[in-house]
Amino acid sequence: MNANTSVNSSDTLTVSSGRPAETRRPPRKRYVFLMSAPALLGLFMFMVLPFLMALGMSFTDQRLLSPNATEWVGLRNYDRLLNISWLVQEPVSDADNHLKRTAEGELVYPRLRSVLRKNPEYKEFKEFTHWSFGDKRVVLLAKDPSFIQSIINTLLFVILVVPIQCGTALGLALLINQKLRGIFLFRTVFFSPVVTSIVVVSIVWSFLYHKDLGLFNHYLNAMSFGLIGPVDWLGDPDWAMPSIVLMSAWQAAGVQMLIFLAGLQGISGDLYEAAELDGAGPWGKFVNVTLPGLKNTTIFVVISTTIQAFGLFTQVDVMTRGGPQGSTSTVMYHAVTKGFREQDIAYGSAISVIFFLAILAIALLQKRFFDKREDA
Amino acid sequence: MKRLQKLGAYLFLLLIGYVFLFPLLFMIMSSFKPEQVIFADLYSIRAILPVGDLTLDNYRQVFEKSDVLLYFRNSILITSATVILGLFVNSLLAFTLSRMRWSGRKYILAAVVALMIIPIEAIVVPLLLLVSKLPTIGWEQGGLVLMGSWLNSLEVQILPFVANSFFIFLFYQFFRDIPKDFDEAAELDGATPFQIYRHIIVPMSGPVFATVAILHFLLMWNQYIWPIMAVQGEDARPVMPGIQIFFGRQTSWGEIMAYASFVTLPVLAVFLAFQKKFVSSLAGAGIKG
């Protein structure tokens, strides 16, 4: 793309003077090429090309190591990932038209597996979840229920971690924005988890979360005077994801804290003085000066934290391996499990493509948001 | 009243500071304690204090049971090679983007910004297939030979991470704000673009080179998902995946803490040495980005 550099544009180094191009033009072109080529080659080889390969492979049955020839399978991988269906089941009744019940008084439904097998429409579908409406039962079906579960888990993580992490970061930024001696020391302390590897952090926190020995259960027990028994933080499907959320927010909040701090220091002191003259208290100043002044910073922080959160992988891999019962499997964890551990690289590629499109959609929403703000 | 307020502020800061420092201190202190002492100290302030019978046994076990020194050496090689190459390559592209005029410049810049949003996790799977098919030149029995694939090597952990769109963007922002008068004068004297880069821009850009070097260092030292996939054997394994030897088998917590402390040491050293520069430059980078 550098080879066809146009001749008419002002090919000089200087921009401000706008001097016409001189005889040195051809060598300069070569300089542009030589100086930009290494990085462009790297970006192309290891970012753009893999993505294009993922796009291509997602329509095949490519495996990581396989003697068989690769074949085109069209949209089959995407169909497996995203196809959802549902069916309604009537409860089973006996010969006298009475509804059958189990010993516990639960209604009995036809065995789902045989229903799905009998009907070609439901080929390859498995149960994802079901709800009861009166006597009827609605069964939600998916071809890869664990991927649907992974999407839901990832969204849950994002929805929980973004406000907690950004809120913590804002709180910390306000704390270290005070004019106190030695405040820099605290800034370093709050930031220290960020430089620590998330692998190391996950391992140390696994110990703190431990059911019998961990610190969390010890404090919980002490503070509730023994009323609250030990919680299996990482072993309970209901608690595993919130536990990962808490640790992740703790680990990464330091980054957003620094960005918020820069935002806070960019707010003019005059505004605070004016608010004080108007009789505003600390809370009034916070709501009327600080928050509006941090608007751009907040947008940036929220969007970048969100994009980062969608990529959740390492914590899950170290702490729970996607369990218990798939409650912490994420989109990226599923992609690596399928594409690498199960060697189905085409399927993993299809997940990567879907993931990329989701990230792109968020980035475009961000851009629209910013553009709108500029219009206003 | 004022003094009381200040005291309250400090107490609160100390409490929050404790929450943020506890896991790290606990890890380091526990690495010097026998298993029973770790548990005995856990629920008191002793957990983060170097008290009692301190021992190096955990470290001895770690060195015996694993090739941690080999992993450490690998990480140092991978990290330093990537950071040094990255500083060159990324700043050179940023230079042409920010201080030279060429057609296509705007599109390349837009592409670099767009690439910033793609997380590494999104491309690791196809990247794995790509590198498994790339031939490479390696040393075997004292001679250069063409090898089958990039997997299980140091270069597979270096080359994909040299060019980085975020770092290019950081360089670009910094270079863009340097006054153009210097370039003009140098150009009139017949300096080539590379000379302008080398003798004018680089000497004026210490802060951004330091920021990128530190960020790149952190990124590389803490690599996890990629080496797990691309490096199955021991020979080229870096430090973070190596920790699984201890964590997976549920062996002793003292040994886990020793391994974790040992591999965290370089990061903490760099962070504490450069913290002031680091913290302020990162804040600046974030707000502009």
b or e along B130-140 (b: 16 or more beta carbons within 10 Å of the residue's beta carbon)? bbbeeebeeee
3-state class (DSSP) for residue A189: helix
Q: Token match 């008084």: residue?
A: A105
- Taking residues B151-180, what's their average pLDDT? 89
Asked whether the beta carbons of residue A259 and residue B128 sit closer than 8 angstroms, the reply is no
Q: Is the pLDDT reported for residue B284 higher than 80? A: no
Asked whether the beta carbons of residue A13 and residue B108 sit closer than 8 angstroms, the reply is no
Q: Is the pLDDT reported for residue B39 higher than 90? A: no
**Of the candidates B140, B127, B137, B153, the residue with the CA atom closest to the CA atom of residue B234:** B153
Q: Look at residue A19 in the predicted model and tell me its pLDDT.
A: 47
Average pLDDT, chain B: 84
Residue B282 sits at the chain A interface (C-beta within 8 Å): yes
Mutant choice from A6, A25, A36, A320 vs B, greatest count of B C-beta within 10 A: A36
- Number of cross-chain residue pairs from A and B with Cβ atoms under 8 Å apart: 282
DSSP state of A140: E
Q: Look at residue A5 in the predicted model and tell me its pLDDT.
A: 41
Q: What does the domain layout of chain B look like in residue ranges?
A: 67-241+265-288
- For the ranges A179-183, B19-23, B60-64, B276-280, the lowest mean pLDDT is seen at B276-280
CATH code reported for the domain at B67-241+265-288: 1.10.3720.10
Residue A138 pairs in a beta bridge with A88, A131
**How far is it, in rounded angstroms, from Cα B27 to Cα B21?**
10
Asked whether the beta carbons of residue A42 and residue B159 sit closer than 8 angstroms, the reply is yes
Q: Look at residue A8 in the predicted model and tell me its pLDDT.
A: 43
Q: Look at residue A151 in the predicted model and tell me its pLDDT.
A: 92
pTM value is 0.85
Residues of chain A positioned with their CB less than 8 A from the CB of B23: 193, 201, 204-205, 208
- For the ranges A7-16, A344-353, B135-144, the lowest mean pLDDT is seen at A7-16
Residues of chain A positioned with their CB less than 8 A from the CB of B264: 196-197, 200
Q: Which two structure tokens, joined as six digits, stand for B238?
A: 């870096």
- Taking residues B250-266, what's their average pLDDT? 85
Determine the distance in angstroms separating the CA of B250 from the nearest CA of chain A, rounded to an integer.
11
Residue B263 sits at the chain A interface (C-beta within 8 Å): yes
Check residues A212 and A332 and name the one with the higher pLDDT: A332
Share above pLDDT 90 across residues of chain A, in percent, rounded to a whole number: 21
Nearest CB to B284; choose among A47, A262, A340: A262
**How far is it, in rounded angstroms, from Cα A48 to Cα B47?**
48
Q: Is the pLDDT reported for residue A14 higher than 80? A: no
CA atoms within 13 A on the CB side of A165: 31
Asked whether the beta carbons of residue B93 and residue A40 sit closer than 8 angstroms, the reply is yes
Residues of chain B positioned with their CB less than 8 A from the CB of A43: 111-112, 115, 163, 165
Answer for the pair B78, B162: CB distance below 8 angstroms, yes or no: no
Residues of chain A positioned with their CB less than 8 A from the CB of B99: 13
Question: CA dist A285 to A180, A245, A267, A270, A275, Å?
Answer: 20, 31, 12, 12, 6
Q: Look at residue A21 in the predicted model and tell me its pLDDT.
A: 47
Q: Look at residue A361 in the predicted model and tell me its pLDDT.
A: 86
- For the ranges A19-33, A256-270, B89-103, the lowest mean pLDDT is seen at A19-33
What is the DSSP annotation of B201-228?
IHHH-HHHHHHHHHHHHHHHHT--HHHH
Average pLDDT, chain A: 83
Mutant choice from A46, A65, A260 vs B, greatest count of B C-beta within 10 A: A46
Q: Is the pLDDT reported for residue A6 higher than 50? A: no
Q: Which two structure tokens, joined as six digits, stand for A309?
A: 């959160």
Say how many C-beta atoms besides its own lie within 10 A of residue B199's C-beta: 13
Q: Look at residue B142 in the predicted model and tell me its pLDDT.
A: 61
Q: Is the pLDDT reported for residue A271 higher than 90? A: no
Phi then psi dihedrals of residue B140, to 5 deg: -145, 130
Q: Look at residue A23 in the predicted model and tell me its pLDDT.
A: 47
Asked whether the beta carbons of residue A4 and residue B103 sit closer than 8 angstroms, the reply is yes
Nearest CB to A332; choose among B20, B121, B282: B121
User: Using only C-alpha atoms, what is the Rg of chain A?
Assistant: 28
Q: Is the pLDDT reported for residue A250 higher than 80? A: yes
* pLDDT tens sequence across B207-237: 889 888 888 998 899 999 899 888 888 888 9
What ipTM does the predicted assembly reach? 0.85
Residues of chain A positioned with their CB less than 8 A from the CB of B160: 42, 45-46
Mutant choice from A15, A23, A184, A197 vs B, greatest count of B C-beta within 10 A: A197
What type of residue sits at position B286?
G
**Of the candidates A305, A325, A327, A329, the residue with the CA atom closest to the CA atom of residue A317:** A329
Nearest CB to B89; choose among A42, A64, A349: A42
- For the ranges A113-122, A168-177, B14-23, B187-196, the lowest mean pLDDT is seen at A113-122
Asked whether the beta carbons of residue A54 and residue B123 sit closer than 8 angstroms, the reply is yes
- Residues 6+ away with beta carbon under 8 Å from A294: A170, A260, A263, A264, A267
Asked whether the beta carbons of residue A189 and residue B20 sit closer than 8 angstroms, the reply is yes
pLDDT range class, residue A13, cuts 50, 70, 90: very low
- Residues 6+ away with beta carbon under 8 Å from A211: A217, A230, A231, A232, A233, A235
**How far is it, in rounded angstroms, from Cα B174 to Cα B203?**
13
Say how many C-beta atoms besides its own lie within 10 A of residue A348's C-beta: 30
* pLDDT tens sequence across A138-197: 888 888 889 999 999 999 999 999 999 999 999 999 998 888 888 888 888 898 898 899
Taking CA atoms, what residue in A is nearest to B118?
Answer: A356
Q: Is the pLDDT reported for residue A4 higher than 70? A: no
Q: Look at residue A158 in the predicted model and tell me its pLDDT.
A: 93
Mutant choice from A33, A258, A345 vs B, greatest count of B C-beta within 10 A: A258
HEC profile of B138-202: EEECCEEEEECCCCCCCHHHHHHHCCCHHHHHHHHHHHHCCCCHHHHHHHHCCCCHHHHHHHHHH
Burial class from Cβ neighbours inside 10 Å (0-12, 13-18, 19+) for residue A376 reads exposed
3-state class (DSSP) for residue A129: strand
Nearest CB to A340; choose among B128, B187, B263: B128
Share above pLDDT 90 across residues of chain B, in percent, rounded to a whole number: 26
